[in-house]
Structure 1
Amino acid sequence: MWVVKLGGSLAGEAVLRDWLEMLAGYGGGQVVIVPGGGPFADQVREAQDGWRFDDGTAHRMALLAMEQYGLMLTGICPELVPADSRQELLGALRAGRVAVWLPTKMALAADEIPHSWDVTSDSLAAWLANHVSAERLVLVKPFAPAQLEVEAEEMSRRGMVDRAFPAFVRSGCFQMLVLGKQQHPALKRLLLGSVCRPIEPGFFVPRTR
């Protein structure tokens, strides 16, 4: 099983459809998509800035923002299956489909997930990858990184991922890849099994100390 986190920054990009069609066409039975928050999460941040409500409330709203983005993905590509439980995720994969995770129910039931902005969709994707024993976690970002390897702590320091991300990575047993928004053909090749380990520029395997 592979967990692929599609960043919310792709919400306004034409390449989003290419990602969805590729994953639906070649990831059936093995891919779970974790949606970012995108413009929906931006609205949560704006509302919190204006009304000063607590981070716990904002966390719940941000989870729902991810669900809105996830439902948008299934609307764009109806071959994708929305799923809000482990049973539904695994059921979609057993049926040869690609699942889109709707995180609210599972995330709120997990005591180890802090209710704060320290945890965003990147950490939630890492948590899910560990929870479902995924082989790989793929983060799709706006730009391809220059380095082939970088530590998760360094990613967090650079603002590429949230503060809690390194801790969630340390608790996992999966390989991790980070791709730029135009690198869907590279992931297609990996899904087809033509490459056993990423070696081309734009890939890196984050590590923890």
Structure 2
Amino acid sequence: MDWVIKLGGSLFPERAIKLCEAIKDLNNSNQIPIKILIICGGGIFANKIRDYDKNLQFSNTANHKSAILCMDIIGTLLADKVKGFETVKSIEKAESVIDQGSIPIFIPSDIMEYQDPLEHSWRVSSDSIALYLSDLLKAKLLIATDVDGIYTHDPSQDGAKLIKIIGAKKLLNFGETSVDEFLPELLIRYKSNCYVVNGKYPDRVISIIEGRSSKYTLIGGN
């Protein structure tokens, strides 16, 4: 596998569909297709569980499993709307789908239930799950979200500047950003890197995949 691309739930549905179409067009234009696996965030469904949890205090495990099921839902709906994409529940099936000329969208609940590799808390979201998957596949990770990358502080405030490259150790001190809190720790553990890019602009995602200049943040765990 060349790339794991995590589509933020905030992009669903229209922008996620548009980005998938761009990824499909990229592969159709290449003589040798790039091996790409898509995994989706839980979007508004997972956010609703967070809201309920604030009032009802579910167990960490119930929250964790339910939020992962939200990723399943978004992935299933997205695959239904974009021709040439197919949901998969295993790495073996993902490879098979790629060999058949389609692009797999990973449904993570089965593998996360069986392997259970990450802590059960709201510090872990689809970002960390995507990183875990990319490490299994020895693939590069790109996180497509609804902001341009990591900023010096809250981008809604004056003076916030986009950071081009940042070490995961430094990011640990940033608190809440556009990626989940556990991701920097996992990047350090895996000695891995990931790109954070605005998925509302598909050309930026394609540029990174093709190795061209783009607007993004690269988080380094090495």
TM-score interval (norm. to shorter):
0.7 to 0.9
Correspondence 1:28-43 to 2 at 5 A: 30-43=35-48
Partner of 2:146: 142
Which residues of 2 match residues 172-191 of structure 1 at below 5 A?
Answer: 172=190, 174-191=192-209
Task: Please give the alpha-carbon distance, in whole angstroms, between the structure 2 residues aligned to 1:158 and 1:60.
Answer: 22
Measured against aligned partners, the alpha-carbon deviations of 1:21-53 in whole angstroms (never above 9, x if no partner) come to 012222455111110010110121123233322
Match of residue 64 from structure 2: 59
**Greater displacement, 84-93 / 64-73:** 84-93
SS in 2 for 1:33: strand
Residues 171 and 93 of structure 1, relative CA distance in 2, 3 Å threshold = farther
Conserved 8 A contact 1:74-1:80: yes
Match in the other structure for 2:76:
71
User: What amino acid is aligned across from residue 11 of structure 1 in structure 2?
Assistant: F
Match of 2:181 in 1: 163
What is the alpha-carbon distance in structure 1 between the residues aligned to residue 164 and residue 34 of structure 2?
Answer: 28
Do the aligned partners of residues 173 and 152 (structure 1) sit closer, same or farther apart at CA in structure 2, a change above 3 Å counting?
Answer: closer
Change (3 A) 1:186 1:34: same
Shift of 1:180: 0.9
- Indicate conservation of the 8 Å contact 1:29/1:92, yes or no: no
Aligned to 2:48, what secondary structure does the other structure show? helix
2:181 aligns to what SS in structure 1? coil
Structure 2 residues without counterparts, runs of 5 or longer: 28-32, 150-161
Matched, 1:129 2:130: no
TM-score normalised over the length of structure 2: 0.82
Q: 2:167 aligns with which of 136, 151, 159?
A: 151
In structure 2, the partner of 1:24 is 24
For the 8 Å contact 1:37–1:121, the answer to whether it is kept is yes
Q: Which runs of 4+ in 1 moved over 3 A?
A: 171-175
Higher strand proportion = 2
Letter of the 1:166 partner, please give it: P
Structure 1: stretches of 5+ with no match in the other structure:
none
Bigger Cα displacement from structure 2, 167-176 vs 19-28: 167-176
What's the counterpart of residue 216 of structure 2? Answer: 203
Aligned to 1:2: 3
Show the counterpart of 1:120: 125
How many correspondences in the alignment?
A: 202
Structure 2 distance, partners of 1:16, 1:163, is 23
Residue number in structure 1 paired with 2:157: none
- For the pair 1:107 / 2:129, whether they are aligned, the reply is no
TM superposition shift of 1:175: 4.3
1:117 aligns to what SS in structure 2?
Answer: coil
